[in-house]
């Protein structure tokens, strides 16, 4: 193997190793509709910038990006401004996680900041 091929192979392996399965994106109705139409696992994280519990959940979700088995999208919903989806799903408080497999709600938690609890809720959709 030439040095160039070795370097290219090594770079590809490193890129694959750092690829993230859990994808966190801002909420949009279109993004949710697309995920649900394709029967993909998707979670809505209702959060507020002023909420310390939400910030703790953000850290947990960021840490879970490294777990290759968690192949789903988390859409970050602004609790203070995205009122339509909040009403539609009867979400009463920030720091709520609503998990879907396609259009079916499969898990919901509020205020949980534990890695194990959040991981378990997300895995229900897989």
The CATH number of whichever domain residue 75 belongs to comes to 3.40.30.10
Whether 1 is in a domain gets the answer no
Q: Residue 46 is inside which H or E element, if any?
A: strand 41-47
Q: What are phi and psi of 3, to 5 degrees?
A: -60, -40
Residue 12 lies in a domain: no
Q: 5 in a domain, yes or no?
A: no
Output the DSSP codes for 59-117: HHHHHHTT-TT---EEEEEETTT-HHHHHHTT--SSSEEEEEETTEEEEEEES---HHH
Band (pLDDT 50/70/90 cuts) for residue 9 is very low
- Band of residue 20 on the pLDDT scale cut at 50, 70, 90: low
* Containing structural domain, residue 42: 20-123
DSSP SS3 for 95: coil
What is d(CA 86, CA 83) in angstroms, rounded to the nearest whole number?
5
Which whole number is the average pLDDT over 78-106?
97
6 within a domain of the structure (yes/no): no
Q: Is this structure's pTM higher than 0.85?
A: no
Tokens of 95: 């720091």
Please state the domain count of the chain: 1
Tell me, yes or no, whether 60 lies in a domain: yes
């Amino acid at each position: 193997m030439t040095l160039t091929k070795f370097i290219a192979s090594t770079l590809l392996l490193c890129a694959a190793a750092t690829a993230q399965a859990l994808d966190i994106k801002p909420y949009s109705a279109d993004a949710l509709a697309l995920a649900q139409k394709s029967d993909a696992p998707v979670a809505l994280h209702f959060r507020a910038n002023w909420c310390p519990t939400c910030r703790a959940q953000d850290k947990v979700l960021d840490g879970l990006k490294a777990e290759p088995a968690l192949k789903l999208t988390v859409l970050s919903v602004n609790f203070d401004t995205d009122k339509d989806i909040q009403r539609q799903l009867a979400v009463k408080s920030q720091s709520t996680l609503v998990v879907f497999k396609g259009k079916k709600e499969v898990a919901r938690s509020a205020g949980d900041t534990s890695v194990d609890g959040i991981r378990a809720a997300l895995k229900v959709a897989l």
